[in-house]
Amino acid sequence: MSADLPLSTTGRTTLHRLSERGKTERADLYAVLDAGLICHLGVIVDGYPVVLPTGYGREGDTLYLHGSSGNQAMRAADGHEICVTVTHVDGLVCARSLFNHSINYRSAAIFGTARLISDDARKLAALRVVTEQLVPGQWDYARLPNKKELAATAVLELPLAEASVKVRTGGPHDEPEDYDLDVWAGVVPAQMMFGPAEPDPDLRAGVNLPDHIKAMARHPRGSSALRAVVRFSSWRTGLPLGDE
């Protein structure tokens, strides 16, 4: 698939609520996925739904998710339909009314049939993608997985054929009469940022912090020109949202 191809618009990836917040370019999907560290894997296990966070990586139009080979959610996903989401919180929006409070966000939902990778060479290649998503430069730096570690690791692949992206940007949308209230309104930006690396107390003397890890502290993750806000009043008030 090419980055120029638009995202699919199947029944289940068509946004009904606030569809103007949907992004239709494949590049928008890539941007959300590439800025993330973890995804949420939604799968049916023994007849009930389970949603679990896990590390992932993207290469081209394939998403790789990894976990323990004993992970029942990953085993249950093999050969079945799953839904994976990636979410970035870009800020909190404070409105003049509680009802109109929101959260800035970028998010993606991907649907498809997942497959466990059994071939060791392909599994290693996929693990490289997952590792580089989390700590770029680490695959060529740290010891590679041995046979036993590889067997203890499960990797799922999921095609990025059917996906949606939703983004909310901007400030609060208050009721016209509320603009006269003496209440502060605006956006509190949020950003994923790494701090300075902390060495393992058992670190062998003379082992220096590598540049690729040192550099992480200087580069915020998940930052983007795309800013958004999702109302969070619903879970407090139980009121239906008009502006999520």
Ligand X SMILES: Cc1cc2nc3c(=O)[nH]c(=O)nc-3n(C[C@H](O)[C@H](O)[C@H](O)COP(=O)(O)OP(=O)(O)OC[C@H]3O[C@@H](n4cnc5c(N)ncnc54)[C@H](O)[C@@H]3O)c2cc1C
Q: Which residues lie near ligand X (CB under 6 A)?
A: 12-13, 15-17, 87, 89, 103, 105, 107-109, 164-166, 230, 232, 234-235, 241, 244
The smaller minimum CB distance to ligand X, of residues 23 and 96, is found at: 23
Say if CB 151 and CB 69 are below 8 A apart.
yes
CB of 39 to ligand X, least distance (A): 12
The smaller minimum CB distance to ligand X, of residues 153 and 164, is found at: 164
CB of 42 to ligand X, least distance (A): 11
CB of 36 to ligand X, least distance (A): 12
What 3 state SS string does the chain have? CCCCCECCCCHHHCCCCCHHHEECEHHHHHHHHHCCCEEEEEEEECCEEEEEEEEEEEECCEEEEEEECCCHHHHHHCCCEEEEEEEEEEEEEECCCCCCCEEEEEEEEEEEECEECCCHHHHHHHHHHHHHHHCCCCCCCCCCCCHHHHHCEEEEEEECCEEEEEEECCCCCCCHHHHHCCCCCEEEECCECCCCCCCCCCCCCCCCCCHHHHHHHHCCECCCCCCCCCCCCHHHHCCCCCCC
The smaller minimum CB distance to ligand X, of residues 52 and 124, is found at: 52
The smaller minimum CB distance to ligand X, of residues 95 and 109, is found at: 109
Of 24, 5, 27, 3, residue with least CA distance to 13: 24
**Radius of gyration for the chain, computed over Cα atoms and rounded to the nearest angstrom:** 20
The smaller minimum CB distance to ligand X, of residues 103 and 114, is found at: 103
CB of 147 to ligand X, least distance (A): 39
CB of 105 to ligand X, least distance (A): 4
The smaller minimum CB distance to ligand X, of residues 69 and 113, is found at: 113
CB of 102 to ligand X, least distance (A): 8
